[in-house]
Amino acid sequence: MPDTMHTNTSFQLLARGYIDESGDALCARMGDLTFTSHCQPVVSPALMRVVGVAARLVIHRGETLLDARTLFPQLAPRSCADIDRLALALHARSAARHGDSGWIFLPVQAQTIRQRLFTAAEAEAELAAIGIAPARIVLEIDDSSLLGDDEIGAFVEEYRAAGFRIALDDFGAGQSNFGRVLALHPDIVRLAPSLVQDAAASPRAARLFPHMVTLLRESGSLVLVNGVDSDAAAQLAIDADAELLQGHWFGGADEQLPAAETVRARAEALLRPQRQHADRRELRLRSRFMAVWNAYRDGRTLTEIVGEI
């Protein structure tokens, strides 16, 4: 398909100018394409609340829903960069309607990274027009893409210097490796959904899953478990001590975030078994201490007491 999305070689105004705010739902129009912003909550089980949103574009041509994974490879690099710029403005404006929902996770197309057609300075200008700091934006780099480490490294260096946060997305799919994690030092590593879903279905995968989370965490990154769509997957993520969770178990990808009470109740349900285990362990330790203390108070020596424990 020829790239007929628009005729301008670059934006003649801030991308925010392409956003239609007249209706209940925000949308943006460019050429014959219409874009809307959908988001899925990113939850911190420790804080028991939403700490960010994973934003995704929903794209229509007329009444036809388009698959972004099919569309983007057909577009020229300039068009991909312009859509990424438009997505930044649209998602940020949509998130602003929800109030301070924390981080805004935004995917960046491989062509945008390779061609460097959307600069950090342009991104800062888009955000300044909306009143959102770069530190709230988490730029997602797909780890399964065919980009080279040098290409990704240059992009990360530029945007990190401007205050943006970096996430390595879809880790565990394709040619993922820990070497890239160590080289890029991403703030967040989002696991491919298949990892936790396989662990929920396979005892062997379940045994390996927490070790992967631990390795990533010890590398200095927060771990986001994506694909938390069932009770089993949610509990596996909690038991692995992952800092962040995303999936339909907490809320779908749509225009509205779940109520804070709903998220808190779900997080509390996940943490309850861990707390019960900790309470039982504390009770056992307290019981042992009291037995030792009572024996010592009755005049027995510590050597005698320790020999019986």
The pLDDT of residue 244 is 93
Res. 173: pLDDT tops 50: yes
Quote the pTM value: 0.81
The pLDDT of residue 296 is 59
Res. 17: pLDDT tops 90: no
Please check whether residue 90 is in contact with residue 26, taking contact to mean a CB–CB distance below 8 angstroms: yes
Of 74-88, 198-212, 228-242, 287-301, which gets the smallest average pLDDT? 287-301
Please check whether residue 231 is in contact with residue 194, taking contact to mean a CB–CB distance below 8 angstroms: no
Instruction: Give tens-digit pLDDT for 19-31.
Output: 887 766 788 888 8
CB atoms within 10 A of CB 182: 11
Question: Would you call 288 exposed, middle or buried from its count of C-beta atoms within 10 A (0-12, 13-18, 19+)?
Answer: exposed
The arithmetic mean of pLDDT across residues 151-162, rounded, is 94
Residues 6+ apart with CB under 8 A from 250: 41, 43, 228, 258, 263, 266
Of 76-80, 96-100, 103-107, which gets the smallest average pLDDT? 96-100
Please check whether residue 139 is in contact with residue 177, taking contact to mean a CB–CB distance below 8 angstroms: no
The pLDDT of residue 178 is 85
The arithmetic mean of pLDDT across residues 175-181, rounded, is 79
Res. 261: pLDDT tops 60: yes
CB atoms within 10 A of CB 166: 23
**DSSP string computed for 10-75:** S-SS-GGGGEE-SSSS-EEEETTEEEEEEEEEEEETTTTEEEEEEEEEEEEETTEEEPHHHHGGGS
The arithmetic mean of pLDDT across residues 124-142, rounded, is 91
Mean pLDDT of the chain: 81
102 phi-psi bin (left φ>0, alpha ψ -120 to 50, beta other)? left
Res. 114: pLDDT tops 90: no
Res. 189: pLDDT tops 90: yes
